[in-house]
Amino acid sequence: MLTLVTGATGQVGRRFVPRLLAQARPGEKVRVLVRDASRADAFADLGAEVVVGDLRDEEALGKAVAGVDAVVNVAAAFRGVPDEEAWAVNRDAALALGRAAAASGVRRFVQTSTGLVYGTGRGRPLTEDDPVEPGGEMWGAYTASKWEAEQGLFAMEGLGVRVGRLTFVYGDGDPHLAQSLMWASRWAAAQRLQMVHHADVAQGLLRLLHAPGVDGRLYNIADDTPVTAVELHQLNGAEVPEELFERADPDPWFGITSTERIRRELGYRPQYPSVYAAREAGAL
């Protein structure tokens, strides 16, 4: 089995690829698509095949998917990029990759997405059956582009698509935890953020990759213990602003997701059920 991973040099991809290689069985190989040739050696040293090219270049996509059995599309343009780039990477390139994969005979395609597509809370943990309401000033085109990629990929004939919707990713030295204060400092004290450690992102994506009979399914990937704005400050060793306690949470269930489906169907159990478990293990 040969698996192609895109977005290998990003915050998620650079932590996922070593874990994918570490669990590979005899005969299982990994190929990565990277834009920067200077970053290829690190993956080659781990045992991955490397194709140098841009996800938005259809010729490069053809080379990347040739002979591949499965694809894990981790590539994403996230917060802070122009909307045009978000659409180009998150939707257009993902769909081009799906088409190239289908044309090459790939039958298993794992797409990473985001729990932010749900939009507003529902007064309970969000489930995969909930309607989506992508958008929000803070995220630009990120959520809508990810949602349209999901829909476009699911519509492709002959391609076994599985989608993992991630919550806020942290751990393994990822700067996201520190960056959370950019918005947590403007929240109410009890406002919550649902998180997931990179180890559990990898666990979830690997379960989606290898599970039989789950084509066309969505899965939330998260830990068990959302943390408050106060806790985010404490975890970062930052003083808690007094004004947090003067604010009301406008949507107490925003971003809080259920992992019942992936637990029940794929046997997922977080290695780090909370950020505190990760901290105790030295995995922040």
Return the CATH number at 17.
3.40.50.720
Q: Rounded to 10 degrees, what is the CA torsion of 162, 165, 170, 174?
A: 60
The letter for the amino acid at 65 is: V
Residue 50 falls inside a structural domain: yes
According to DSSP, the β-strands at 192-193 and 227-228 are antiparallel
More confident of the two residues 214 and 38: 214
> Does a structural domain hold residue 52?
yes
For residues 227 and 275, is the Cβ–Cβ distance under 8 A?
yes
Whether residue 244 lies inside any domain: the answer is: no
Q: Tell me which residue range forms the domain holding 148.
A: 2-170+198-222+257-270
In a domain, 188, yes or no: no
pLDDT in tens, 187-199: 999 999 999 999 9
Flag whether pLDDT at 127 surpasses 80. yes
Provide the pairing of β-strand 217-221 with 168-170: unpaired
Label residue 133 by pLDDT band (50, 70, 90): confident
**Averaged pLDDT for residues 25-43:** 92
Residue 276, in any domain of the structure: no
Tell me the pLDDT of the chain averaged across its residues.
Answer: 95
| Long-range CB contacts (within 8 A, 24+) of 43-48 | 43/8, 43/17, 46/17, 46/18, 46/21, 47/21, 48/8, 48/17, 48/21
The answer to the question of residue 47 being in a domain is: yes
Asked whether residue 87 is assigned to any structural domain, the reply reads yes
The mean pLDDT value for 152-176 works out to: 96
> What is the spatial distance between Cα 222 and Cα 256, in angstroms, rounded to a whole number?
9
Number of domains in the chain: 1
Identify the weakest region by mean pLDDT among 25-29, 56-60, 191-195, 260-264. 56-60
Residue 123 counted as domain residue: yes
pTM here is: 0.96
